[in-house]
Structure 1
Amino acid sequence: MKKEFHQDNRAELYQSLTPGSLLLLFSGRAPRKTGDEDYPYFADRSFVYYTGIEQQDSILAALIDKESVQEILFMLPPDAHAERWTGKRLSPQEAQEISGISDFRYLTDFFSFLDKQLSSGSICTINLDFDRKKTDEQPVRQAFVLADKLRTDYPYVKLTNIHNQIKAQRTIKKPCEIEAMRYAETITCEGIQAMMRASHDGMYEYQYKAEFDYALAQRGVLSPGFPSIVSAGKNNFCIHYYSCKGQAHDGDMILNDVGACWDNEINDVSRGWPVNGKYSEKQRLLYTCAYNTSNYMFSILRPGLPMSFVDQEIRKYNFGQLKEIGVCEKFEDVGTYIWHGGAHHVGYDVHDEVNVDDGNRLLEPGMVFCVDVGIYHEEWGIGFRLEDNCLITPEGCENLSKVTPRSIDDIEAFMGKR
């Protein structure tokens, strides 16, 4: 993304903050894994959304006044020895080119800056991004650590959680985000097709995953947008399955729940397809139910509907399909075959929605979320999901992931060319 994207995002956020307040956002740091090794670093998504910076131990500070905003970027100072081991740190000029923030200071100056601002009496509120999860699950724990210090040292300063404001803003995608998503969809398609192309009896799940990862890497994506789920047969009945140690055989379906990330925009695509390239009678029955449900949803979704409608209607329509083929008689029993929700926003996170009132929010142009139709029939040994990414447009909606084969005919035709 260009720096103007991040500048516009910050300007929009500042408009919702009260004068006399201080905004503090943290990039986070990698937690310890073992010995002298850390987990791979993954920058806080909101910090990247507002700055474009993906370097750990960075802080965005913004002093909100009635007529102006002072932005400061605190980052690690140069350290030749540390950089020899962990890579070059951003210079002030590089950080400015990425973020559009010209006031660059070293992280060592942060607490003296904070003390000066809070002691001046001009700051009455500090805006922090507290995740909705428990304290020990907080992605960016610095916010909680700092909050504890502020409550002790500056009890007269009000702490405000702006998490919902940030997430509400991120929910509406700008044109450059949608463009990045479209491109990410084509890469995801290449990865899924690579798995389909290689599929054969006796293939291990980790081999399917390797095909997907290789296809992404060949297109400049070194890590998927989220941990890939690739399973076969009975392993399809674990919704979030990451082991990838099982073996696929003729008669099994491969369940993939995967997505590439491009320019920080993530997509989330699921397909259920037969190892041998040909759906069995029962597989065809169940996949047709999911396919019909998905097509129906893309025919009716439009601005003005509540977000909660998406999940409710998927469940209701999918039940009707299952009842028609004699699988499920009563709606009360639909949970036997439909195990999870049918919609979640995507974007800078693969599950981008977190607001408590998201279900009541009306669909708006620029929203992108998954239409996720899952069917799990344990007695038949068939479990899969058909998941596509829906962009709400002024007139209705668009299926961004339609580039990936999704109908029975298209999947069988593609796999038949192997």
Structure 2
Amino acid sequence: MKLVKLVSLLLLLVTVHTFGQTPTDYLSKDFHKKRRATFRAKMPANSIAVIFANPVRNRANDVDYVYHQDPNFYYLTGYREPNAVLVIYASDQKNGDGTTYNEVIYVQERNPNAEMWNGRRLGTEGAKKELGFASAYNAIDFLNANIDFKKFDKIFIEKFKDDYRNTGNSAEVFDLVKSFKTKAGYDPNIYLSRAKKYVYELVKSTPIENSANVAQVIGRIENRFPDIKEDDLLMKYKTATDAKLKGDLKEKITLKLTPKTNIDIDFLSTTLSDMREIKSPEEIKLLTKAIRISAIGQIEVMKAMKPHMSETELQGIHEFVYKKYGAEYEGYPSIVGAGNNGCILHYIENNKTKVGNDLVLMDLGAEYRGYTADVTRTIPANGKFTPEQKAIYDIVYNSQEAGIKASVVGASFGAPNAACRKVINEGLLKLGIIKTINERHNYLPHGVSHYIGLDVHDPGTYGNFRANSIITVEPGIYIPEGSPCDKKWWGIAVRIEDDILITEKGPINLSAEAPRKSNEIEKMMAKKSVLDEFVLPDLDKE
């Protein structure tokens, strides 16, 4: 008996010790609880919201991708496992025993065998203790739950992407979504793509005697928009010759424009976009850490970079710094493009074996406790800008300074973009790369700002700036080989991107730790790197 007690005590100590070694700076359960309360307060009377966790996605064969939670689900729950559902009610509900509740989370069940292979699960008790839910059940209970969805005036969901597999296990997201669709009477035509809605409206507004014109439109666009080609009503309408049949089809298509349903796919996304735009102090703290980690990664690469290095090696240094600081993931696929590769905006191959004397554009961001940075620096591989490289770089820097200055409370979301483009056009004109100030060109083909947060392109209203939102300001100039300008500019690509906190007192550059001025970059690159002596065996030598 004493031995049993001793073993139990040792297991307890090991458990406590193990949990003491895991991160403790995630958002608190109170944070997520307050987010649910805020969302509930915005819900109209007699409504219900149903939010599903992300599915597990397959990489190849029996290997899955590292799991990443749906950001909205995480924002409202803090739950980081798959196969779960959150149900939020606008008003209190009652159990059979008279207990009231206004939210329920359904989580994946504890399973010793599964946990042996894939790690510990929270289970229902963990959801109550660690996430702060009063009502927590196993996911399989959602399949059996007697929720009368039809009694609610509104059911709020997000648009289903239907990208989850049916692996045969019970109560996975595939089953949870299928069960909901059946019980709620889900009609896939609730969501009409822009193209399909356009064609439906065209059918509705076009007299039958002119329906041949609509048929021609369908014929022109059906191959570009698969959902139109897969629509039986539209395909029959396109080929029908009988006026009465066309009239019947028109009536059915018109009804689809206003489906009779209590399911709403806009409110949940729109409401959470508005909420997530404004960051709480806890969120700003985590985002700032993610951003500083990313900025330090840029600094270490500046010191370590040599012309003989590959794009992949430089990517590895960045991501090593992230892991050294305990960042779980990269917030998005890392971009490291040398020379002309930098002109590919989302270049992720990173397979150039030597960066040589090119400029190297490095757009990377650490994800820390769910929050993602987005920081870009462009630096000369050999430590010194050529005159042409410096000329382009300094235009982008001055452009970014103007963009940051325009990022103030009350300004339109497009204000930084307008400020950046003005400086870039003036600079390109002065260098003779464009011929007139209003010349249409593709040297800056993207907008310069987006929100960051739980997503690298975080949702938001994209209206006038509000305090405590965090955006990027990322102007660039990209001159790919073959551009209509002097060849001396070809292959130069520069982007500078920083993460800016909007405050009542003005913008704060949270990533300013990484040098931005051309002369400051050169000074940083002249410093010794701790990796200078890190030399691995040459595997190509026999």
Q: TM-score, normalised by structure 2?
A: 0.71
Greater length-normalized contact order (CA 8 Å, ≥ 6 residues apart):
1
1:28 aligns with 54
Matched position secondary structure for 1:261: strand
Cα distance in structure 2, aligned partners of 1:37 and 1:335: 45
Cα distance in structure 1, aligned partners of 2:177 and 2:430: 52
Distance apart, 1:268 and its partner CA: 0.4
**1:261-319 C-alpha deviation (Å, 9 max, x unpaired):** 22221110011000011111011101100111111222232111111223233222321
Cα distance in structure 2, aligned partners of 1:167 and 1:54: 20
- 1:363 counterpart letter in structure 2: F
Distance apart, 1:211 and its partner CA: 0.8
1:288 aligns with 394
Task: Say if 1:219 and 1:295 are closer, same or farther in 2 by CA, change over 3 A.
Answer: same
Task: Say if 1:138 and 1:383 are closer, same or farther in 2 by CA, change over 3 A.
Answer: farther
Q: Which moved more, 1:320-329 or 1:398-407?
A: 320-329
Distance apart, 1:137 and its partner CA: 6.5
Contact 1:268/1:346 (8 A) holds in 2: yes
Contact 2:311/2:355 (8 A) holds in 1: no
Contact 1:233/1:248 (8 A) holds in 2: no
Task: Say if 1:92 and 1:144 are closer, same or farther in 2 by CA, change over 3 A.
Answer: closer
Q: Is the strand fraction higher in 1 or 2?
A: 1
| Alignment match of 2:352 (pick from 241, 246, 267) | 246
Task: Say if 1:62 and 1:152 are closer, same or farther in 2 by CA, change over 3 A.
Answer: closer
Distance apart, 1:136 and its partner CA: 5.2
Contact 1:124/1:157 (8 A) holds in 2: no
Q: Are residue 149 (structure 1) and residue 251 (structure 2) matched? A: no
- 1:221 counterpart letter in structure 2: A
Cα distance in structure 1, aligned partners of 2:525 and 2:186: 65
Cα distance in structure 2, aligned partners of 1:84 and 1:63: 36
Distance apart, 1:336 and its partner CA: 2.7
Any stretches of 5+ residues in structure 1 without a counterpart? none
- 2:182 counterpart letter in structure 1: K
1:364 aligns with 466
Task: Say if 1:394 and 1:106 are closer, same or farther in 2 by CA, change over 3 A.
Answer: same
| Alignment match of 1:391 (pick from 501, 506, 509) | 501
Distance apart, 1:146 and its partner CA: 5.9
| Alignment match of 1:125 (pick from 150, 154, 158) | 154
Q: Which moved more, 1:201-210 or 1:306-315?
A: 306-315
Cα distance in structure 1, aligned partners of 2:412 and 2:271: 19
Cα distance in structure 2, aligned partners of 1:156 and 1:243: 47
Any stretches of 5+ residues in structure 2 without a counterpart? 1-26, 94-99, 166-172, 188-258, 481-486, 529-542
Cα distance in structure 2, aligned partners of 1:218 and 1:90: 27
1:116 aligns with 147
Matched position secondary structure for 1:43: coil
Task: Say if 1:337 and 1:153 are closer, same or farther in 2 by CA, change over 3 A.
Answer: closer
Distance apart, 1:377 and its partner CA: 1.7
Q: TM-score, normalised by structure 1?
A: 0.91
Q: Which moved more, 1:258-267 or 1:51-60?
A: 258-267
Contact 1:195/1:208 (8 A) holds in 2: yes
| Alignment match of 1:376 (pick from 469, 475, 478) | 478
Matched position secondary structure for 2:448: coil
Cα distance in structure 2, aligned partners of 1:175 and 1:236: 35
User: Share of identical aligned residues, percent?
Assistant: 27
Q: Are residue 86 (structure 1) and residue 118 (structure 2) matched? A: yes
Distance apart, 1:92 and its partner CA: 3.0
Distance apart, 1:20 and its partner CA: 1.3
Task: Say if 1:314 and 1:271 are closer, same or farther in 2 by CA, change over 3 A.
Answer: same
Cα distance in structure 2, aligned partners of 1:137 and 1:316: 42
Cα distance in structure 2, aligned partners of 1:137 and 1:93: 30
Cα distance in structure 2, aligned partners of 1:191 and 1:384: 18
Cα distance in structure 1, aligned partners of 2:458 and 2:336: 22
Distance apart, 1:172 and its partner CA: 0.7
1:103 aligns with 135
Cα distance in structure 1, aligned partners of 2:186 and 2:374: 44
Contact 1:10/1:50 (8 A) holds in 2: yes
- 2:36 counterpart letter in structure 1: R
Matched position secondary structure for 2:496: strand
| Alignment match of 1:206 (pick from 287, 307, 312) | 312
| Alignment match of 2:446 (pick from 334, 337, 340) | 340
Looking at CA atoms only, which structure, 1 or 2, has the larger radius of gyration?
2
Matched position secondary structure for 1:343: coil
Cα distance in structure 2, aligned partners of 1:138 and 1:374: 37
1:406 aligns with 516
Cα distance in structure 1, aligned partners of 2:178 and 2:495: 40
Cα distance in structure 2, aligned partners of 1:377 and 1:310: 22
Task: Say if 1:69 and 1:322 are closer, same or farther in 2 by CA, change over 3 A.
Answer: farther
Matched position secondary structure for 2:103: strand
Matched position secondary structure for 2:441: helix
Cα distance in structure 1, aligned partners of 2:175 and 2:159: 10
Distance apart, 1:36 and its partner CA: 2.0
Cα distance in structure 2, aligned partners of 1:306 and 1:150: 43
2:86 aligns with 60
2:262 aligns with 158
Distance apart, 1:334 and its partner CA: 4.8
Distance apart, 1:12 and its partner CA: 1.0
Task: Say if 1:142 and 1:259 are closer, same or farther in 2 by CA, change over 3 A.
Answer: farther
| Alignment match of 2:273 (pick from 149, 167, 170) | 167
**1:300-354 C-alpha deviation (Å, 9 max, x unpaired):** 321111112232332223212222333223344353311211111100000013x
Contact 1:28/1:141 (8 A) holds in 2: no
Matched position secondary structure for 1:61: strand
2:107 aligns with 75
Cα distance in structure 1, aligned partners of 2:269 and 2:377: 33
Q: State the Cα RMSD in Å.
A: 2.5
Cα distance in structure 2, aligned partners of 1:309 and 1:300: 6
Cα distance in structure 2, aligned partners of 1:230 and 1:365: 32
Distance apart, 1:189 and its partner CA: 1.7
Matched position secondary structure for 2:156: strand
